[in-house]
Structure 1
Amino acid sequence: MSIRMKLGVTLVTLSFAGAAFAQAPAKPSRIRGEIVSLNGDVMKVHRRSGDMVSIEVKPDTGVSAVKAMQLSDIKPGAFVGTAATTGTDGKLTATEVLVFPESARGTGEGHYAWDLSPNSSMTNANVDTVVEGTSGRDLKLSYKGGTNVVTVPPNVPVVTLTSAARVDLVPGKKVFVVATPATQGTFVAQRVVVEKNGVAPPM
């Protein structure tokens, strides 16, 4: 292949790579805070970090809430998502547990870093066994590619998803929003979990 042709192929390859990079979807952000207002499709949220953000909530954006469950409600066979911190001994201790409804089994399956607190992780997995431990209940979790044991202390919030609607997005309610960054520091909501009946999303 001639030098000119090689150069041409390289430039075309770089052009495609640049276009693919430019069109790559923005990484979703997790926004936690309190609703300040909802005007039209724009919801303003005062984040825990102290700043205010504007989030577009389209008419077809999914809105849900959570309701409290008991730790004893977690049974083998359930599919859960649990945020946890890793102790100096390497063991995982839950800071919250979401029990998914059967229709949502498999959502976000795996073990990965999470941003709820420093050094936290998220495990979305099937509950294989539940064992009463000295510090709470030990859940043995399995997911594609691995297993974890997470201790759930008695005081940790345990919730499941329940229905909510756009009318529940009122000032003063706590929210957990998964959103994609848009222009000028604004966001577009992919889904919203809102406080309802006094139960705030712990995620």
Structure 2
Amino acid sequence: MPIRFKLAASFVALTLASASFAQSPAAKPERIRGDIVSFSGNTLTVHRRSGETVTIAMSDASKVSAVKPIQLADIKPGSYVGAAATPGPDGKLTAKEVLVFPEAARGTGEGHYAWDLGANSSMTNANVDTVVESTSGRDLKLSYKGGSNSITVPANVPVVTLAPATRADLIAGKKVFVVAAPANGGSYGAQFVVVEKDGVAPPM
């Protein structure tokens, strides 16, 4: 299976899971952000931003990926993106980060829902209808099934796409974003891991 297809399939799993996590209170998996303390056997230990250290079991189904930076100019009409954003004083959404999906993952996690990348943050996975240059960056008009919105992307906001990674990249000190389901004894089971690689930390 080509690497590009594997990456697309992996991120489909991540984003579908993330969308259902946001919308389904019965599931209650978590998005874990932090730094790798260790990875030994099938156990990933992460020191979370919130201060606690957690253990995460990696199964054969656990996916590992990385991200690489691209240019804001690479976001064009027709791109399919995932944009985390927060509202400004005027209520207009301003992006905190944008991930440009590979074409094979178009439609993944489509919609607008609550996110946890800061107070009042949201995630919009949608098609880019128009891109307008502004003094503060670019204004994106996004549409998804059931709605649409506009998001301003400042010039200094991380814009990324997927990059290959393996478990060999799970090195102590690297930053990670993990989608994981709670397990017995306070541990977790990893579903998807995005790890820092080549100096690029996952911004989501």
Give a deviation string over 1:122-162, Cα, whole Å, max 9, x none: 00000011000121100000001100100000000000011
Distance 2:37 2:87 in 1: 34
Aligned partner letter, 1:143 = Y
SS at match of 1:155: coil
Give the alignment's TM-score, normalised by structure 2: 0.86
Distance 1:52 1:84 in 2: 27
Q: Is the 8 A contact 1:41 1:59 kept in 2?
A: no
Cross-structure match for 1:17? none
Cross-structure match for 2:60? 59
Give a deviation string over 1:85-114, Cα, whole Å, max 9, x none: 011211000000000111111111100010
Give the alignment's TM-score, normalised by structure 1: 0.86
SS at match of 1:188: strand
Aligned partner letter, 2:36 = I
Structure 1 residue runs of 4 or more that deviate by more than 3 Å after TM superposition: none
Cross-structure match for 2:117? 116
Gaps of 5+ in 1: 1-23
Cross-structure match for 1:33? 34
Cross-structure match for 1:183? 184
Please give the residue correspondences for 1:1-203 in structure 2 after superposition, counting only pairs within 5 Å.
26-203=27-204
Percent identity for Structure 1 against Structure 2: 72
Cross-structure match for 1:10? none
Aligned partner letter, 2:78 = G
Q: Is the 8 A contact 1:26 1:181 kept in 2?
A: no
Q: How many residues align?
A: 180
Distance 2:79 2:64 in 1: 23
Report the alpha carbon displacement of residue 25 of structure 1 after superposing the two structures with TM. 5.8
RMSD: 1.1
Gaps of 5+ in 2: 1-24
